[in-house]
Structure 1
Amino acid sequence: MQFYRATSFLFPHSLRRRLFALCLVTTHMPLLGYIGWGLATGRIAWAECIILILATMAGAAGALIGIGALLDPIHALVDARDEGDAPRPERGGTPTLPTVGDIIARLFAGMSRAAHPAREIDERNIAAQEDPLTGIANRRGFLAQLDTLPHARRRGCIAIIDIDHFKQVNDQLGHDGGDHVLGDFAARLSSQTRRIDLIGRWGGEEFAIFYQDAIEDEASWSLARMADRMRQEPVGRVNGQPISFSAGLCAWRGGPVTAAIAQAEEALHRAKRSGRDQIRRAERPSTQAYG
């Protein structure tokens, strides 16, 4: 793009003429050098010089014909833009070369997408499964990660976590402050879990963790350690008190994950009804075999 702008003094309103000028100069540079050397030394052979001039002009003409053919799709896009199929410049403005450059970029992007359709689909799928605010998986992504686990790895503990009094967080810190708290809390979860554990934003101020190959005591200890750090190094304060969280925990032994999640949510509700800032385990862990 810098070179594109640096050549704007050459026919600033015609990309085709600019390319013609550059092509003509660059293809004749060796010939001009030969003529200059011949004139300086007195050893110029005019017959060979004329042949070289004709050959160079033929090569330049061929290059220009090829460039013209390559520019035809771009000019078609320009025509479509002028007819209203693409965004117009502001009223009263005149088309400039950066506008043509935008068209070239769009054309290249379209060719790249056509060459890599599978990659574009994968990128869309990843974006659909990622929470844009926190950068971790959303509910759909979290469940998709669970679904891709081998059967032997679908065992551990499911935790559903809720930030306490989050309405007050938004009321006192504003929605931007609330978003900041959510982002910091997601980062805190990521930093205090193992690489094999799965983390997702379940929705709103709720998060989910799958502690892979962990028993309830291990998962409960991990959550208690997070809660203690939240008190010592809070992600924010409400009414002068550190922001805390409540959590419900349920063992998952390979049965339907929806049943384990439902029991973890029920345990979370008991923790909130009991005063918040605590961890409760499901009363009846999911023990049904996967199948």
Structure 2
Amino acid sequence: MQFYLATSFIFPRSLRLRLFTLCFVATHMPLLGYLVWGLSTGRIALAEFILLTLATVVGTAIALFGIGALLNPIHALADALHEAKEEGVALPEVGDVIQTLYAGVQRVASATRDRMEDLHQAAHEDPLTGIANRRGFLAELDALPPERRRGCIAIIDIDYFKRVNDLKGHEEGDRVLAAFATRLSALMRRVDLVARWGGEEFAIFFQDCIEDEASWSLARIASRMRSHPIGDVHGRPISFSAGICRWHGGDLEETFARADEALYDAKQSGRDRICRAAPLFQEV
């Protein structure tokens, strides 16, 4: 495109004449070189000059024929645009076919990039709550540098969520999920990661936190849920249970499994509580 714009001073309104000029000059360079050499040395052979001239003319004709064939689709498109404009179809003003095509390619490329970004966002974001989904959460953890891959993983489950759907309908259930996601996101630090793990389960990565800090943070959210409930079931504020596990940057699958076991203990212990995963090695 830069070369195209740089040659605009040669027949600026005609791409075909511009190409013809460039082709003519390029194909005649050997002949011009031979003339300069012959005039400077006084050794121009007539037979060689005629043969070189014929070869140049043939080469020019072949090049012009090929260029014309390549330009036919472009000019057909330009004619179609011109006819559409004459028929009253609203079209942008175009000063040059190539510039128009280039602008069209740029628009398509931009739209493709936007589409790819939308698809990436859809694949990594939960559409209901607007926070990361499981895939996005794991991708964010995987993208962390080694020095930041440490802290606590928490798996959270909304207590008696099925009753919300059964008693008040799925619309209320969706509202509770969205409100809970907003509550979690608002009360976490910027460095912490929050995601919808699936269904009524959520996941949090507390970066550079020990279990005491993560447990205190979740207890603060639980207290907020009681004082400013996002909904109720049988007159009781909606609560949550959570399981916490320390993560030192090792096997994530094992860490999530241990956090899930701690969540199960919290559920079995009466719900509305936070449990920590048992240490891997217990001192005797």
TM-score (norm 2): 0.62
What is the CA–CA distance in structure 1 between the aligned matches of 2:84 and 2:268, rounded to whole Å?
66
Q: 2:237 aligned to 227, 231, 242, which one?
A: 242
Distance change in 2, residues 1:67/1:272 (3 Å): same
2:190 aligned with 1:190: no
> 1:272 maps to what in 2?
267
Q: How far did residue 116 of structure 1 move?
A: 5.1
Contact 1:169/1:178 (<8 A) preserved: yes
Distance change in 2, residues 1:261/1:110 (3 Å): farther
**SS at 1:207 equivalent:** strand
Distance change in 2, residues 1:115/1:223 (3 Å): closer
2:215 aligned with 1:215: no
2:144 aligned with 1:133: no
Give % identity.
58
Contact 1:260/1:285 (<8 A) preserved: no
2:115 aligned with 1:120: yes
What is the CA–CA distance in structure 1 between the aligned matches of 2:79 and 2:224, rounded to whole Å?
66
> 2:176 maps to what in 1?
181
Deviations 1:35-87 (A, max 9, x none): xxxxxxxxxxxxxxxxxxxxxxxxxxxxxx9975436799xxxxxxxxxxxxx
- 1:227 corresponds to which letter in structure 2? A
2:212 aligned with 1:201: no
What is the CA–CA distance in structure 2 between the aligned matches of 1:143 and 1:130, rounded to whole Å?
12
**SS at 2:115 equivalent:** helix
> 1:147 maps to what in 2?
142
Q: How far did residue 121 of structure 1 move?
A: 1.9
Q: How far did residue 258 of structure 1 move?
A: 1.3
Distance change in 2, residues 1:174/1:212 (3 Å): same
2:175 aligned with 1:164: no
> 2:250 maps to what in 1?
255
What is the CA–CA distance in structure 2 between the aligned matches of 1:173 and 1:110, rounded to whole Å?
51
Alignment map for 1:62-73 (pairs within 5 Å):
69-70=80-81
Q: How far did residue 109 of structure 1 move?
A: 9.4
- 1:114 corresponds to which letter in structure 2? A
Larger mean Cα displacement after TM superposition, 173-182 or 122-131: 122-131
What is the CA–CA distance in structure 2 between the aligned matches of 1:161 and 1:109, rounded to whole Å?
49
Contact 1:251/1:285 (<8 A) preserved: no
TM-score (norm 1): 0.61
What is the CA–CA distance in structure 1 between the aligned matches of 2:203 and 2:258, rounded to whole Å?
13
> 2:228 maps to what in 1?
233
- 2:222 corresponds to which letter in structure 1? A
Q: How far did residue 176 of structure 1 move?
A: 0.2
Stretches of structure 1 that go unaligned for 5 or more consecutive residues are 1-64, 75-96, 101-107, 287-291
What is the CA–CA distance in structure 1 between the aligned matches of 2:275 and 2:104, rounded to whole Å?
52
What is the CA–CA distance in structure 2 between the aligned matches of 1:109 and 1:160, rounded to whole Å?
48
Larger mean Cα displacement after TM superposition, 167-176 or 187-196: 167-176
Q: How far did residue 111 of structure 1 move?
A: 6.6
Count of matched residue pairs: 194
Deviations 1:22-42 (A, max 9, x none): xxxxxxxxxxxxxxxxxxxxx
- 2:143 corresponds to which letter in structure 1? T
- 1:212 corresponds to which letter in structure 2? Q
What is the CA–CA distance in structure 1 between the aligned matches of 2:191 and 2:215, rounded to whole Å?
17
> 1:88 maps to what in 2?
none
- 1:70 corresponds to which letter in structure 2? L
What is the CA–CA distance in structure 2 between the aligned matches of 1:166 and 1:123, rounded to whole Å?
31
**SS at 2:169 equivalent:** helix
Deviations 1:166-220 (A, max 9, x none): 0101112210000000000000000000000000000000000000011110000
- 1:159 corresponds to which letter in structure 2? A
What is the CA–CA distance in structure 2 between the aligned matches of 1:179 and 1:111, rounded to whole Å?
40
- 1:173 corresponds to which letter in structure 2? K
Larger Rg: 2
